[in-house]
Amino acid sequence: MGNELFGAVDALLEQVAQDDLPGPSERKRLREAAGLSQAQIAAALGARREAVGNWEAGRTEPRPPKRAAYARLLEGLAARFPAPGATAPAPDAAPASFADTGADTTPEPEPEPDPDPDPEPKPAAAEARPAATPSATRPSTSRRPAAKKATSRPAATPAAFDERFANGPLGVLDGDGSLYCVGGLLLDCPARTIPALVDWTLSEAQLGAARLHPSGKDSDPLIVLTAAAAERLDLPLELEDRRGLRLAEDHKVVKQLARAKWQLTKRGFGPWARIYRPAQGGRRQCVQLAVLPWGALDARSWGSTDQLEPADIARVLGTYAARVITPRGSTAVSGLEAMTALRPPTRAVKDESNGNWVSGPVPGSLTEAVDPAPAEAPDEHPVVAALHPRGHQRTAAEVLDEEAYEWIRDPELLTDAECDRAFAVGIDVNTAFLAAANRLVVGLSAPVHVKAPTFDKKTPGSWLVDLSGIEPDPRLPNPFTPHGTRPEGPAWYATPTVAYAQELIDTYRLPTQIRPLEAWVRTESGPYLDPWYKRISEAYKATMADLGVTSDLPEADFLAAMDQHKATDPALAAVLSAIKSTVKGGIGKLRERPKSIRHKFGERWPALERPTWRPDIRAAVISAARVNMHRKVLKTALATQQGPAPTGNLMLDQDVLLPIALLSDCAVYLADGPGPLDFLPHTADGRPAPGSFRLGVSPGMVKHEGTQDLLWAVQMLDEGHNPARHIKGTDAALDGE
């Protein structure tokens, strides 16, 4: 009875506490008077540090049950630290005015150079931003959505709270002027024209994100426009220019921007528009817009995100922004921008001779655009056009062909034991290109030509060498070609491929040697992609964990969780899809091809002018991913071999476990049961066999891709089709896999 009475009293106290909070400024005064940090308050209340900051700024209010606990804390602090000359703190009125920020890119093409670079180098402390100014129209207010809020969960946010970007990295604007931000925050945006929207965003919205590297730039605010918002701002729901994907230069919105002294990047006003003014005094003034009805969110990367409610779109994009980067265009563009954000090319350094700050290179970064070696360049590149006429088919001895696997086994090589199995089971390597980038040493400088070099696996570059003397078991793909067939003579290979050839020679005592005829090597090198790998792998694992798939799950539980993880939370499933697309697209952007219909063979195109146009790095990543796949295939086979490992050759026992097809990061095996546990080898104590494929969530580990019956797989092989492409029942290419 006593517990019930106390419980009833506590409930009454909690009710009373709903309106018993001092004003925002008094909350901050009490905390500071007690010498407490926002983080300490947050930890005591089980809240986020950002939430406490919002309570003290008056942007949001605590909700039960944290509200009652917060009220009790403030009451105790008020008793100890009364306000000077007052008996009770008076509640504050309106929230403080909002701050601002500063812009870059477009849909599918490569990122443009920053439109408003800082005019002078400066120390990499805090990037200057314009001071907050009152709104030229009516003041904005913040509120919490009622019914709509039920569909929105808070997105992940960085640990460090930055007051300049108190409302998060982005907002989704709807037709009634509601701007949906991360964490369920809702702002009232009074703007009814694009120039007014840009002004309001920079002066009041407090949107943006802090830089990812001390020498980098803060992310500019992103405003996502729904179809209703586009109409409100006088934008058409469909672009007439379907090829260029941009508004006509005589459109009234473009004219409005020009009259207001705002500028657009060279690609104009398209699905991803960047609107800016040149930087003044180091202050950036730039806003990026994503126009949903114009296809800003590609379904291949984002699924049906653009069909969600605005609050849920904000959640999806906000989570991606917090874990990867504020979207800057397609996921491919964002992937490339993340590389630069994590390793910017330059930093401010002090000139000791005069004490001035000047621009200097960041160690370990790509600091300037360099031309590739002829073998590394695509056909239309000037260095190739100078050597070969248009239409010339370059041979393996003239062009570097490092691509992912597309291989099937000759059906005549299926064994009787394999034909007795009932199922074809596909396994897929998690973010294979990302795993390949981990600790990968790549070139940072221009290529240097060397004749008859001695191969060094620590030197990144491209090597002309004959690897045809290494012949694997005919039931295995050749590790040196994308199609898995034996090379016919000297060919160009990236360092990881040649290093794997040397590994096979040394491990299995093969009777051949590595003797390159020539090479293009990089004298400066380093693990350029390591920060990119770490950030995106953490984003991938964190999102998988949110979907119920964690690294500590036993194999059977992992497979069960993977069977339904996408249905757990469709919004987070969209984030996961975007993260995976970011990896593949970002690597692909390292060899951006010309996109303009006006491009002429042999002429330069814009992508060549950026430091991150590096086809040699793309080749190295894909090379590493392909040899990683072959290494796993070979180790898995050897784990099922009864006799000793081969010596002097790569011939395997008749009944070892071998794939029937490979497609990039997917391998298909024949098995007695329908799942990976029915064929993947394990040790006597139940652990995965060393070096073999291993089930799990981390990059480089594998998951179940799909299962079909044996007859289906054999028919695919007989018809020359790749079972790995269709093992899920759909075309893997259409699914973005």
Q: What is the pLDDT of residue 210?
A: 95
Give yes or no: residues 57 and 175 share one domain.
no
CA-to-CA distance for 241 and 28, rounded, in angstroms?
A: 53
In a domain, 296, yes or no: yes
Asked if 140 and 187 count as a contact pair (C-beta separation under 8 A), the reply is yes
The mean pLDDT value for 144-171 works out to: 60
Task: Pick the last residue of a domain from 297, 316, 343.
Answer: 343
The mean pLDDT value for 65-76 works out to: 83
In a domain, 118, yes or no: no
The mean pLDDT value for 729-735 works out to: 65
DSSP string, 187-232: EE----SHHHHHHHHHHTS---B--SSTTS-PBPPEEEEPHHHHHH
Give yes or no: residues 190 and 75 share one domain.
no
Q: What is the pLDDT of residues 426-482, one digit of tens each?
A: 999 999 999 999 999 999 999 999 999 999 999 999 999 999 999 999 999 999 999
Q: Which residue has the higher pLDDT, 21 or 421?
A: 421
What is the band of 142 on the pLDDT scale with cuts at 50, 70, 90?
Answer: low
pLDDT above 80 for 88: no
Burial 481-499 (b: 16+ CB within 10 A, else e): bbebeebeebbbbbbbbbb
Give yes or no: residues 167 and 314 share one domain.
yes
pLDDT above 80 for 184: yes
Instruction: Give the structural domain span for 289.
Output: 142-343
The mean pLDDT value for 76-83 works out to: 80
Give yes or no: residues 175 and 317 share one domain.
yes
pLDDT above 90 for 80: no
What is the band of 732 on the pLDDT scale with cuts at 50, 70, 90?
Answer: low
* 79 C-beta neighbours (distance < 10 Å), count: 8
Q: What is the pLDDT of residue 136?
A: 35
In a domain, 698, yes or no: no
Instruction: Select from 661, 723, 703, 670 the least CA-distant residue to 423.
Output: 670
Which whole-number Å values give the CA distances from 112 to 107, 249, 267, 350, 612, in the listed order? 11, 19, 9, 28, 12
Give yes or no: residues 165 and 47 share one domain.
no
Q: Specify the number of domains making up the chain.
A: 2
In a domain, 305, yes or no: yes
In a domain, 146, yes or no: yes
Give yes or no: residues 151 and 237 share one domain.
yes
Q: What is the pLDDT of residue 135?
A: 36
pLDDT above 60 for 96: no
The mean pLDDT value for 270-294 works out to: 92
96-100, 340-344, 505-509, 593-597: segment of lowest average pLDDT? 96-100
Asked if 420 and 699 count as a contact pair (C-beta separation under 8 A), the reply is no
104-108, 243-247, 286-290, 385-389: segment of lowest average pLDDT? 104-108
Asked if 488 and 417 count as a contact pair (C-beta separation under 8 A), the reply is no
Q: What is the pLDDT of residues 170-182, one digit of tens each?
A: 999 999 999 999 9
In terms of DSSP bridges, do strands 222-225 and 170-173 run parallel, antiparallel, or are they unpaired? parallel
Give yes or no: residues 275 and 150 share one domain.
yes
Task: Pick the last residue of a domain from 32, 57, 80.
Answer: 80
Give yes or no: residues 227 and 307 share one domain.
yes
Give yes or no: residues 312 and 232 share one domain.
yes
Q: What is the pLDDT of residue 590?
A: 98
Q: What is the pLDDT of residue 519?
A: 98
CA-to-CA distance for 289 and 172, rounded, in angstroms?
A: 10
What is the band of 97 on the pLDDT scale with cuts at 50, 70, 90?
Answer: very low
Task: Pick the last residue of a domain from 33, 48, 80.
Answer: 80
Q: What is the pLDDT of residue 75?
A: 83
In a domain, 532, yes or no: no
Percent of the chain exceeding pLDDT 70 equals 86
Q: Which residue has the higher pLDDT, 280 or 703?
A: 703
144-158, 274-288, 600-614: segment of lowest average pLDDT? 144-158
Burial 537-574 (b: 16+ CB within 10 A, else e): bebbbbbbebbbbeeebebeebbebbeebeeebebbbb
Average pLDDT of the chain is 87
Which whole-number Å values give the CA distances from 383 to 370, 376, 399, 608, 705, in the listed order? 12, 10, 12, 12, 41
Asked if 536 and 581 count as a contact pair (C-beta separation under 8 A), the reply is no
> What 8-state DSSP symbol labels residue 19?
G
CATH code of the domain covering residue 51? 1.10.260
Give yes or no: residues 269 and 163 share one domain.
yes
> What 8-state DSSP symbol labels residue 650?
B
CA-to-CA distance for 615 and 594, rounded, in angstroms?
A: 13
The mean pLDDT value for 709-725 works out to: 97
In a domain, 321, yes or no: yes
Amino acid at the residue 422? A
Q: Distance between terminal CA atoms of the chain?
A: 62
In a domain, 603, yes or no: no
Q: What is the pLDDT of residues 648-672, one digit of tens each?
A: 999 999 999 999 999 999 999 999 9
pLDDT above 90 for 129: no
**Single pTM value for the model:** 0.81
Give yes or no: residues 322 and 178 share one domain.
yes
Q: By three-state DSSP, how is residue 308 classified?
A: coil
Q: What is the pLDDT of residue 506?
A: 97
Give yes or no: residues 309 and 214 share one domain.
yes
